[in-house]
Amino acid sequence: MALALRKSEERGKANFGWLDSKHSFSFGHYYDPAHTGFGPLRVINEDRVAPGGGFPTHPHSNMEIISYVLEGALEHKDSIGTGSVIRPGDVQRMTAGSGVRHSEFNASKTEPVHFLQIWIIPEKEGLKPSYEQKSFSTEEKRGRLRLIGSRDGRDGSVTIHQDVSLYATVLKAGDALTHTIAEGRGAWVQVARGTAKLNGTELKAGDGVAVGQSGALTLEGVDDGEVLLFDMGP
């Protein structure tokens, strides 16, 4: 099976004081023609926002944007009247579609917030802007792949307007699971924190792996690693 490792330390970087961001793919002022996305997956940014800091109101369109909080709390407000605070275990999907404006701020004045922001290119443009937010406990993810996002919203996952099934798992030492990528599909594996093994290769927090062909993926725990797996159509 063809696996291409994207090491944490090789990611793009941006630090504005209030924001420390690592980019798995080209984003903002960081451009690498060898890393502009993978399939419909366009952005995986690991962001740390200082207390009181955040992104002022800005526009998005024609993108599925998923926020996955690891530590702290992220507050957002938008132009369609939605507002909420996203905490660890929460998954929020924003369909920017025909256009939306929103802001994202650290909800705390004393503690940082650490989260992943994920962009997926939708299957069609001009969708009606919308939000969806659901919570998935660590227990739901421990030792198994918990579906947290899918095209049809099955099993209580948020709906992603693209042929992507997004899973999350938390694996302690001794845990192991296998997921098979069907013919004609690909996958991306992202270690959100901790350490885990993929098909015997040890991965650390921030590492990503592109899977370009079908076959079995085996994830093994090392130290309570938290891992996201994107199973994607062509």
For residue 193, what is the domain's CATH number? 2.60.120.10
Question: Does pLDDT of 84 surpass 90?
Answer: no
Among 81, 112, 136, the domain-final residue is 136
Helix (H) or strand (E) holding 189: strand 186-193
Q: What is the DSSP letter of 138?
A: H
d(Cα 59, Cα 62) in Å, to the nearest integer?
11
Question: Rounded CA gap, 21 and 48, in Å?
Answer: 6
Binning pLDDT at 50, 70 and 90, where does residue 137 land?
Answer: very high
Question: Counting every residue, how long is the chain?
Answer: 234
Angle 194-200-206 from CA coordinates, rounded to 5°: 30
* Residue 143 within any structural domain of the chain: yes
Q: Which percentage of the chain shows pLDDT scores above 70?
A: 100
State the pLDDT confidence band at 101, using cuts at 50, 70 and 90.
confident
Domains held by the chain: number: 2
What is residue 105's predicted lDDT score, i.e. its pLDDT? 87
How far apart are the two ends of the chain, measured CA to CA in Å?
17
Same domain assignment for residues 123 and 143: no
Evaluate if residue 140 carries a pLDDT over 90: yes
Of 23, 63, 31, 90, the C-alpha closest to 162 is: 63
- The pLDDT of residue 234 is 81
Provide the whole-model pTM.
Answer: 0.96
Q: Which residue, 214, 210, 148, 220, is CA-closest to 178?
A: 220
- Do 174 and 115 have their domain in common? no
- The better pLDDT of the pair 180, 54 is held by 180
Residue 56: predicted pLDDT: 79
User: Per residue in 162-191, pLDDT tens?
Assistant: 999 999 999 999 999 999 999 999 999 999
Q: How far apart are CA 88 and CA 170, in angstroms?
A: 13
| Residue 160 included in any domain | yes
Its domain, for residue 40, covers 11-136
Residue 5, domain member (yes or no): no
Q: Is 119 in the same domain as 169?
A: no
